[in-house]
Structure 1
Amino acid sequence: MGRDQVTRRAVVGGLSGLAAAGASGAFAQALPAPSQPVTLNIIDVAGQLQLTQAGIDRFRAQNPKLVSRINFQRAPSPELPGKLKAQQDAGRVDIDLVLTGPGAMSDGVQQGLWIEVWSKYPDGLPKAADTYHEQALMMQRNFGRDQGVAVVYSPSGPVFEYHANKVKTVPKTAADLLAWVKQNPNRFTYARPVNSGPGWTFLMAMPYILGDRDPKDPMKGWDKTWSWLKELDDGIDYYPAGTAVTMKELGEGTRDIIVSTCGWDINPRALGIVPKEVEVFALEGTRWVPDTQFMCIPKGVPNDKVAVLLQLMSFMLKPEQQALTYDKGYFYPGPAVKGVTLAMAPQESQDVIREYGRPIYDKLIAELPVEVPLAPDRLVAAFRRWDQEVGARKSKQ
């Protein structure tokens, strides 16, 4: 395994980091329950409600003395950090909980937007090492740190979906894909990485696939990747703002190949957005770049709400709620905690994954190495550089 692949040594390092964070618990502030039920304002910038809203609604129903109402809203991930920072600077935060992927999570860590829940309230959450499975614990350590709480996990991607009746010779290597895109202009695309799970896994996987000098350094170590992406750009007409558009275009037949992930492959086919018969491939040299979504409490949220949110976060890490995250394959497999199997999921989830899941995913999950994604500051730098050098002329909001 490579030096940055997920290993037990890396996880042990993560455990020690979390233990160090928890050591400050003696100084943590104890939070009393609210005197009356609170209204929670939750914003989703990662499509996470599809996986977690049922569990969140269940918490509200079971805790009427804590929560009177929950308001849900959705927004694009790139817009959230600036909006939240403006509220915090004005001393008027009206967002109580953020459901986010690594993009806004990383921006928030860099800008100091989140409460350090693991270190400030160590008794308010379950012990991470006892709760998360190995890969989710790695993501908690590298992205959630002591601020976000990992709630769902997927080995993610990248994989490529394609119409088998249109793509007669399936690309096997990065060179093959580049040649195909040049020979078939405007028949391939991927979404802007900062706002797309498939987009960001693709961006981080290409340095491994291309054999770049330092896959962990997008500014100094990705010479082959930036060159390849710019050459690929010659055959791409535009980059959609989000993944859903790429799925729609694949389903309509205006694209023959798109970048995808396990969940984005399974779920749109189950929903009828993409034809069931669409196939997938992975390039030679592919490494899994895992994806995780988090729950984050912004700084400035009142203590009575923080007390309730800590209970909600703990509730969402219980096996009963984790089993709901199998959903319709949207973030396959989904659970971030140990010991949650498909047999524990609702029957509808089991049926969907049985019909639309792919045996090849179990094979690839077992065979392909898993890489630690870029650290938050380097991920933000990679997004910025992609926006400036690759997507600037062709991205659509």
Structure 2
Amino acid sequence: MRKSRLINSIMLVLILILTGCTSGNKEETKPIEKNTLTSDWKDIEANARGTKVNFYLWGGDEGINRYIDEWVAPRLKEQFGVELKRYPMDATEFINKLMTEKKANKTSGEMDVLWVNGENFKTAKQQELLLGPFTEKLPNFQQFVDTESDDIKYDFGFPIEGYEAPWGKVQFVFAYDSSKIANPPRSIDELQEWVRGNPGKFTYPAPPDFTGSAFVRHVLHEKSENYSAYLNDFDKSLIESESKQVWNVLNDMKPFLWREGKSYPQSISQLEQLYKNGEVWMTMGYDEANASNLIKSGEFPETTKTFILDKGTLANTHFLAIPYNAPNANGALVLINYLLSPEAQLKKMDLEYWGEMMSLSVDKLSDEDKKVMESIDRGRATLSQEELSSHRAPEIGADYVQWLERGWIENVAKK
């Protein structure tokens, strides 16, 4: 009897010990919800201090790279105690990386902040690859951004809903060597005629390259009888009927392009290199101050000027997002908020680094910051803000963009 009670007592003690140990272990090894963010900004800054944030972005522009490495990084470290590491990578690459991690149920990755927009953002949001919504947590977003503007609420027609924050605004321009071209074309029809008269001196990057894809959309913009319809939901019958004119224009140009259209540059960097070498006399891109920047650095000839089409050129906003499995979401928020500060945005406009237009509302800036903005010299080849803003054309929906990119391969590249 006593022996039985003793055994039962020993077993009870062992059970209690084991239960206690198991309970204690559970408490000690409980996974940390790294991306569960407080709404208190002071706590976010405190949690970010002493950490490292990994920023993944396109690395094809030395001015942008220097802006991040030489200007942003030291200030982020000094003011917030956050170390910034830049990783150059194309958006499609890091979106594919995220999709792979999502399928593998990888809850903690390597990327904290991503530079995205357009179809890449749509893919990431639809596949639940992003952390958010988060913009309501950013003091600078709330204070300086026009949150009701369509180009802040929508990215290529796709609702943002707080999953990315606006980093900058750009407008597509064409650059040319004025020592070789007296009067640049001001429409797609005039460009088509110019290309035929100057064989080998024009080309564009092959879609789905971002710049090449935009050039194709400019042809659609001029040839479409109902361009505003492309701002609505995807209509396959519309794009199928109107794209025929687009393919006709591009195929008419093709034999007169650089290398007779048998090959195309694969990126804007390759196109710019052709221009630097004098192989082509025009280049293009989503950065109205880029030509001025490259003149200043000695890479473009001083005779370079820029032009836009009379009917307008595409303008859009680009954004910053946070991956669903960011290892340092607090640090990501601190970085994004700083990049949206008037200090960082005004420096980004300076040709010393980038020369890009800010994403903030000018009306919300202080009088002092407005004066700083007005004093910025955006370079000899940069068109006035008045001329640019009066020729802004809206971007079409991401579904149309993807359809045109696939269509170009089938109807132009393979012809």
TM bracket, shorter-chain basis: 0.7 to 0.9
Distance 1:41 1:270 in 2: 30
SS of 2:139's equivalent?
coil
Match of 2:402 in 1: 380
Q: Which amino acid aligns with 1:356?
A: R
Which of 265, 281, 288 is the aligned partner of 1:262? 288
1:321 to 340, 344, 356: 344
- Deviating beyond 6 angstroms after TM superposition, the runs of 4 or more aligned structure 1 residues are none
CA distance in 2, matches of 1:56, 1:145: 28
1:61 matched to which residue of 2? 78
Shift of residue 207, structure 1, vs aligned partner: 2.1
**Counterparts of 1:390 and 1:185, CA distance in 2:** 18
Query: 1:149, CA displacement in angstroms?
Result: 0.8
One-letter amino acid of the counterpart of residue 273, structure 1: E
**1:306 equivalenced with 2:329 (yes/no):** yes
Q: Which residue of 2 aligns with 1:81?
A: 95
- Aligned-partner Cα distance in 2 for 1:331–1:103: 24
Letter in structure 2 aligned against 1:94 = E
Aligned equivalents of 1:202, 1:329: Cα separation in 2:
28
Change in Cα spacing, 1:204 to 1:183, as seen in structure 2 (3 Å) is same
Structure 1 residues 288 and 168: CA distance shift in structure 2, 3 A: closer
- Matched with 1:253 is 278
Which of the numbers 136, 146, 153 marks the counterpart of 1:141?
153
Shift of 1:108: 2.0
- Match of 2:38, as an amino acid? A
Q: CA deviation at 1:127?
A: 7.4
Partner SS state of residue 117, structure 1:
coil
Distance between the aligned counterparts of 1:279 and 1:107, measured in 2? 36
SS in 1 for 2:324: coil
Match of 1:208? 221
**Aligned residue for 2:186?**
172
Deviation per CA, 1:260-308: give whole Å up to 9, x if none.
44123222222211112123333332x2311322111111124xx2122
Confirm whether residue 290 of structure 1 aligns to residue 315 of structure 2: yes
CA deviations on 1:24-67 (whole Å, 9 max, x unpaired) are: xxxx8526553872222211126554555523441222122xx3
CA distance in 2, matches of 1:147, 1:128: 13
Give the one of 230, 246, 257 matched to 2:251: 230
Question: Could you tell me how far 1:104 is from its partner in structure 2?
Answer: 3.0
SS at match of 1:222: helix
> CA 1:180 to 1:337, structure 2 compared with 1: closer, same or farther past 3 Å?
same
Residue segments in structure 2 that go unaligned for 5+ positions in a row: 1-35
Q: What is the letter of the counterpart of residue 334 of structure 1?
A: M
Q: Label 1:281 to 1:334 Cα distance change in 2 as closer, same or farther (>3 A).
A: closer
Structure 1: which 5+ residue stretches go unaligned? 1-27
Percent of pairs identical after alignment? 17
Which residue of the other structure, out of 356, 363, 367, is the alignment partner of 2:380?
A: 356
1:278 maps to 304
8 Å CA contact 1:100, 1:294 repeated in 2: yes
The alignment's TM-score, normalised by the length of structure 2, stands at 0.72
CA distance in 2 between counterparts of 1:330 and 1:290 reads 21
**CA positional deviation for 1:256:** 1.4
Residue equivalent to 1:107: 123
State the secondary structure of the residue aligned to 2:192: helix
Q: Aligned equivalents of 1:43 and 1:345: distance in 2?
A: 28
Cα distance between partner residues in 2 of 1:140 and 1:35: 26
* Aligned partner letter, 2:239: M
1:70 to 66, 81, 84: 84
Secondary structure of residue in 1 paired with 2:75: helix
- Equivalent residue, structure 2, for 1:30: 38
> 1:214–1:366: structure 2 CA closer, same or farther, 3 Å change rule?
closer
Q: Secondary structure at the match of 1:151?
A: strand
* 1:199 aligns to 2:212 (yes or no): yes
**How far off is 1:330 after superposition?**
7.1
Residues 153 and 293, structure 1, Cα contact 8 Å, conserved in 2: yes
Report the secondary structure of 1:283's partner residue: coil
Q: Any idea what SS the aligned residue of 2:284 has?
A: strand
Deviation per CA, 1:143-199: give whole Å up to 9, x if none: 144211111112x12x32222333355323322211221232221012235434x43
CA distance in 2, matches of 1:367, 1:335: 17
CA distance in 2 between counterparts of 1:269 and 1:386 reads: 32
For the pair shown, which has the larger CA radius of gyration, 1 or 2? Answer: 2
Q: How many pairs align? A: 347
Matched residue type, 1:344: V
CA RMSD in angstroms, aligned pairs only = 3.2
CA contact (8 A) 1:149 1:296 kept: yes
**SS state at 1:365 partner:** helix
Question: 1:35 and 1:375, CA in 2 relative to 1: closer, same or farther beyond 3 A?
Answer: closer
CA distance in 1, matches of 2:390, 2:48: 53
| Gap change, CA 1:95 and 1:113, over 3 Å in 2 | same
The residue type paired with residue 289 of structure 1 is: L
Structure 1 residue 392 displacement after superposition: 5.9
Amino acid of the residue matched to residue 316 of structure 1?
L
What TM-score do you get using the length of structure 1 for normalisation? 0.75
2:319 counterpart SS class: strand
